[in-house]
Amino acid sequence: MEPEDFEDKDMLSWDINDMKLPQNVKKIDWFQEWPDSYEKFIYSSEDRSAQRHLSSWAMRNTNNHNSRILKKSCLGVVVCSLDCSAKEGRKIYLRPAICDKARQKQQRKRCPNCDGPLKLIPCRGHGGFPVTNFWRHDGRFIFFQSKGEHDHPKPETKLEAEARRATKKVHTIPSSSSLKANRGREAKSLPGETQSWGNLPLTWSFQESIQLPGSDGGHLIANTPQQKSPNDCLFKSYGLGGTTDLADPTSTLGPTELYEKYKVSNSRIYSSGDLLQPPVSGVLSDYDDLQTWNKNAAFGRNPLNDNSCPNYPFPQTSWPYDFSPSQNSAEPIPQQIPLEPPVAKTSSHPIWPNSGSELYDEKVHVDFNSYYPSTACHSPQEDPFLFTYTSHPYHQYSLPGKNSKWNFDEEMRCMGLEHCKNEMLLNLCPLR
DNA sequence: TTTTGCGGGTGCT
DNA sequence: AGCACCCGCAAAA
């Protein structure tokens, strides 16, 4: 079969090992942050996340002696061997280091919660072997195929793990007396914390704060068997979206260009009305450098270039599919991105008051978009929370149902997490 | 220091 | 041959 002969119904019939892969792809997929089961996706070659073969699962490169197809296998998840529970019963699900050496080193460390030994739960979701992911670049697309179904909880995401390390560094660098003072308090509150694990409060609290159970886009909005990327969820949740217009030759903006176009200045995060705000008054005292705060608070996540849907423009209300919150959560939502030119309309995002109108600083960014992703887009599997904590190892929040329009206050109340809201800003500062 | 990709090599089926 | 996995290397972050 010639690539050109592929029809929509054949879009799923290809195999990563096929000599020829479909090239007349009409719909490309949203980047999947948590691909699971036996799935296949076709991403745009412009998709930065796809280009980087990203996954929130801890995937390590595996040599398959085929330079055309990149193969990665899952490393599983690192848990506390004592099966301790942190605040509110949350479990420890750390991201295994990808590097063998780093992973060995990691396993010698202690549980950040109880100081107990850590253990690695290997992935055996593919016939007893780790789940494997395959990536293949072909033409204008990047083909992805996963084999196996993860049989373990989700680890923290790459960016979350990086943020944890970064936070640790911040802590190990005495920069001010106030910082030192807070260290003492923090150390006291976290007897199990080691230097290596650094600022757990930040990671945990931040997750807790950002995690909006009720806004679980994965279930709430998309509610498809497979996980949606953070951005995916967000866009769907708010009826937002973008597209890579491969069908329209007149389109002058590719995904990357659109991404650049919609970058928002770092200063935006301090705008009134933003979900995340800079540390205030006393809280801020711990951080002389706002950027430092900003960086930590942001977890360095920017879906636009590091995470999911990196290439899709921000807010656009006009979209071939109705991803509005009102959509029945039980209804499957197309996960594919039709390659049709979007009708660009200006819209105001609930948490990006002026999103799309200003530019993000690529280096110091707060990416609200990506927050949801790992927090709000959970598969029915288990929920690692942003930092691998969860109220229940395999918890799953109830679905708000049709009227899932996100209301921060309401969600917090409904989920009995009112305190999250109250502590949110404080939690954003790792040195509180 | 860690991630990522690559590739040589080995052992198993 | 296909697969899993080990190892080391190099580039990049």
Give the length of chain A. Answer: 432
How high is the pLDDT of residue A262?
31
In a domain, A219, yes or no: no
Distance, Å, A137 CA → C9 C1': 24
How high is the pLDDT of residue A168?
64
- A363's tokens: 């280096």
Tens of pLDDT, residue by residue over A118-149, are 888 888 888 888 888 889 888 888 888 888 88
Residue A59 CA, chain-centre distance (Å), reads 15
A71: the nucleotide nearest its CA (via C1') is B5
In a domain, A112, yes or no: yes
Which residue would you say has higher pLDDT here, A372 or A239? A372
Q: How confident is the model at residue A40 (pLDDT cuts 50, 70, 90)?
A: confident
Distance, Å, A45 CA → B5 C1': 18
Q: Which residue is nearest to nucleotide C3 (CA to C1')?
A: A64
A219-236 mean pLDDT: 33
Identity of residue A286: D
Q: How confident is the model at residue A35 (pLDDT cuts 50, 70, 90)?
A: confident
Question: A429's torsion region: left (phi>0), alpha (psi -120 to 50) or beta?
Answer: beta
Q: Is the pLDDT of residue A66 over 50?
A: yes
**How many domains, in total, are found in chain A?**
1
Q: Which residue is nearest to nucleotide C2 (CA to C1')?
A: A64
Burial of A77 (0-12, 13-18, 19+ CB in 10 A): buried
**Measured between alpha carbons, how far is A73 from A122 in angstroms, rounded to an integer?**
11
Q: Is the pLDDT of residue A87 over 70?
A: yes
Residue A6 CA, chain-centre distance (Å), reads 32
Distance, Å, A99 CA → C4 C1': 17
How high is the pLDDT of residue A36?
87
How high is the pLDDT of residue A227?
40
Question: Which residues make up the interface with nucleic strand C when CB must lie under 7 A?
Answer: A 62-65, 71, 73, 100, 126, 129-130, 132
Q: With a 7 Å cutoff on the CB, does A9 touch strand B?
A: no
Q: Give the SS3 label for residue A219.
A: helix
Q: CATH number of the domain that A134 lies in?
A: 2.20.25.670
How high is the pLDDT of residue A217?
29
A325-349 mean pLDDT: 41
Residues 106-165 of chain A with CB under 7 A from strand B are 158, 161, 165
Protein footprint on strand C: which nucleotides are under 7 Å from a CB?
Answer: 3-7
Distance, Å, A217 CA → B2 C1': 31
Q: Is the pLDDT of residue A30 over 60?
A: yes
Q: Are A213 and A387 in contact (CB under 8 A)?
A: no
Q: What range defines the domain where residue A76 resides?
A: 35-169
Per-residue DSSP letter, A255: H
Q: Is the pLDDT of residue A117 over 80?
A: yes
A132: the nucleotide nearest its CA (via C1') is C4
Q: Which residue in the block uniquely carries the two structure tokens 């209301």?
A: A407
A84-91 mean pLDDT: 83
Which residue would you say has higher pLDDT here, A312 or A58? A58
How high is the pLDDT of residue A69?
87
How high is the pLDDT of residue A171?
60
Q: Which residue in the block uniquely carries the two structure tokens 């003072």?
A: A181
Lowest mean pLDDT among A39-43, A283-287, A405-409: A283-287
How high is the pLDDT of residue A1?
41
Around A304, how many Cα atoms within 13 Å sit in the side-chain half-sphere?
29
Rounded to the nearest integer, the mean pLDDT of chain A is 53
Contacts of A118 (CB under 8 A, 6+ apart): A78, A79, A80, A81, A92, A94, A106, A107, A109, A110, A111
Q: What predicted TM-score, i.e. pTM, was given to this entire model?
A: 0.53
Q: How confident is the model at residue A429 (pLDDT cuts 50, 70, 90)?
A: very low
Protein footprint on strand B: which nucleotides are under 7 Å from a CB?
Answer: 1-9
In a domain, A422, yes or no: no
Q: Are A23 and A42 in contact (CB under 8 A)?
A: no
| Cα radius of gyration rounded to whole Å, chain A | 21
In a domain, A43, yes or no: yes
Distance, Å, A282 CA → B4 C1': 41
How high is the pLDDT of residue A92?
84
Per-residue DSSP letter, A120: E
Burial of A354 (0-12, 13-18, 19+ CB in 10 A): middle
CA dihedral A9, A12, A18, A24 (to 10 degrees): 60
How high is the pLDDT of residue A324?
33
Per-residue DSSP letter, A91: B
A52: the nucleotide nearest its CA (via C1') is B4
How high is the pLDDT of residue A161?
79
Q: Is the pLDDT of residue A9 over 60?
A: no
Q: How confident is the model at residue A99 (pLDDT cuts 50, 70, 90)?
A: confident
A131: the nucleotide nearest its CA (via C1') is C4
- A168's tokens: 């640790």
Distance, Å, A229 CA → B3 C1': 21
In a domain, A313, yes or no: no
In a domain, A127, yes or no: yes
Q: How confident is the model at residue A360 (pLDDT cuts 50, 70, 90)?
A: very low
A106: the nucleotide nearest its CA (via C1') is B2
Of A80-94, A320-334, A341-355, A383-397, the range with the highest mean pLDDT is A80-94
Q: With a 7 Å cutoff on the CB, does A71 touch strand B?
A: no
In a domain, A316, yes or no: no
A128: the nucleotide nearest its CA (via C1') is C4
**Measured between alpha carbons, how far is A200 from A111 in angstroms, rounded to an integer?**
11
Tens of pLDDT, residue by residue over A384-412, are 433 333 333 333 323 233 333 333 333 33
Q: How confident is the model at residue A277 (pLDDT cuts 50, 70, 90)?
A: very low
Burial of A212 (0-12, 13-18, 19+ CB in 10 A): buried
In a domain, A192, yes or no: no
